[in-house]
Amino acid sequence: MTFSVIIPARYASSRLPGKLLLDLAGKPVLQHTIKRALASEARQVVVATDDVRIAELVQSTTAKAVMTSPDNATGTDRIQEAADMLGLGGEEIVVNVQGDEPLIPVTAINQVAHNLAQHEEAGIATLCEEITEAAEFTDPNAVKVVRDEQGFALYFSRAPIPHAGESRALRHIGIYAYRVDLLNRFVNWPQSDLERSERLEQLRALSNGVKVHVGVSSERFPPGIDTKEDLEKTRKFLTQQDAST
């Protein structure tokens, strides 16, 4: 089994402009993410961007940059365009790693790719972890997922599901593995009613009958960087980590 990592990376960010190029322990945020992806089993790591500044950063690494359209509405659209530019076949597996995940566990990248390869009936694979705090269970920014007995998604929601059961609740982790032929179909489907209601793109797949495998992550997932506060927390974490080694 082989797979590619594609990192969709745009410069604009409503909450933290230019965050992928901001300094984090002496390196841009995106460079940390690329380093993690390169340490995975991926046969190639590609950054899909529409910004020259990001492409120039990628050139200082062993990853590859492809310039995609500035008109892409979502990261998934950008990944699909990159996969097409790279000439990837329909059965090939692509892992979507978000550029603002500088602490992403390497094991998670490998795990989601292997999970998709092992479940031929699935078009997408993703991960989750147990919710341990009541505040997270009710937080609409923490996306919850319920699964069937085989580990396939029944539903994703910002609402607290399952009802009155935070001890059994699972938080969805936003890392995805796709088969390229599914990506090609996905970007041509209109938004579903559920997707618009929940503001969750993965519900477009469920609404169109795609099976989504949801594995429990083998490692706890550190938070990504969406705000200045997130960036400062990550800086502090890395400083403490360096001090302990």
Q: What is the distance of C-alpha 41 from the center of its chain?
A: 16
In this prediction, residue 237 carries a pLDDT of: 85
In this prediction, residue 172 carries a pLDDT of: 97
Distance CA 166, CA 179 (A): 32
In this prediction, residue 165 carries a pLDDT of: 62
Per DSSP, the chain holds a count of helices (H) and strands (E) of 9, 11
Contact 114, 215 (CB under 8 A): no
Distance CA 47, CA 99 (A): 9
Using the Cα atoms of residue 88, residue 77, residue 97 and residue 212 in order, give the sign of their dihedral. negative
Report, at the CATH architecture level, how domain 3-221 is classified.
Alpha-Beta Complex (3.90)
Burial class (CB in 10 A: 0-12, 13-18, 19+), 175: buried
What pTM was computed for the model? 0.94
Give, for all 245 residues of the chain, the pLDDT tens digit.
899 999 999 988 777 889 999 999 999 999 999 999 999 999 999 999 999 999 999 999 999 999 999 999 999 999 999 999 999 999 999 999 999 999 999 999 999 999 999 999 999 999 999 998 889 999 999 999 999 999 999 999 999 999 876 568 999 999 999 999 999 999 999 999 999 999 999 999 999 999 999 999 999 888 889 888 999 989 988 877 765 55
CA atoms within 13 A on the CB side of 168: 7
| Rg over CA atoms, the chain | 17
Using the Cα atoms of residue 42, residue 115, residue 142 and residue 205 in order, give the sign of their dihedral. positive
H helices present in 28-128, as ranges: 29-38, 52-58, 75-85, 106-118
Distance CA 95, CA 224 (A): 17
Amino acid present at 95? V
Stretch (H or E) spanning 136: helix 134-138
Contact 54, 47 (CB under 8 A): yes
Cis? peptide before 162, omega within 30° of 0:
yes
Domain ranges in the chain are 3-221
Question: How many CB atoms sit inside 10 A of residue 27's CB?
Answer: 14
In this prediction, residue 243 carries a pLDDT of: 59
